[in-house]
Amino acid sequence: DSGVTQTPKHLITATGQRVTLRCSPRSGDLSVYWYQQSLDQGLQFLIQYYNGEERAKGNILERFSAQQFPDLHSELNLSSLELGDSALYFCASSTTGTGNEQFFGPGTRLTVL
């Protein structure tokens, strides 16, 4: 158990819908990262937050957004969903903003039908 929690574990929805994925980092970690894992693209960095502020952005679509709240939990919002958004979404956390030693949650499997 990494100490990072993610909900829900599974999510099935339809195209055009909007969903919210939730992540709680390890106790004491200030940074939260979101990654997408698909069969054809592998593990791709989406976005990083550090202590409530956006720190780095990867190949995150405009339809996707995230935020980190004062209690340090984070939410990833995915809107206007397309079939190709079906993937595993992982949250990771680290102690610092440059923390390469990241600890991953169990992931949310999103299926868009």
Partner 1 sequence: GQQLNQSPQSMFIQEGEDVSMNCTSSSIFNTWLWYKQDPGEGPVLLIALYKAGELTSNGRLTAQFGITRKDSFLNISASIPSDVGIYFCAGPGGSGNTGKLIFGQGTTLQVKP
DSSP-derived secondary structure for the chain:
--S-EEE-SEEEE-TT--EEEEEEPPTT--EEEEEEEETTTEEEEEEEEETTEEEEE-S--TTEEEEE-TTS-EEEEE-S--GGG-EEEEEEEESSTT--S-EE---EEEEE-
Q: Does 98 contact partner 1 by CB under 8 A?
A: yes
33/64 with CB nearer partner 1: 33
Positions 33 through 62 that interact with partner 1 (CB under 8 A): 33, 42-43, 45, 48, 55-56, 58
* Selected binder of partner 1 within 11, 25, 26, 31 (CB under 8 A): 31
Return residues touching partner 1 (CB under 8 A): 2, 4, 31, 33, 42-43, 45, 48, 55-56, 58, 90, 92, 94, 96-107
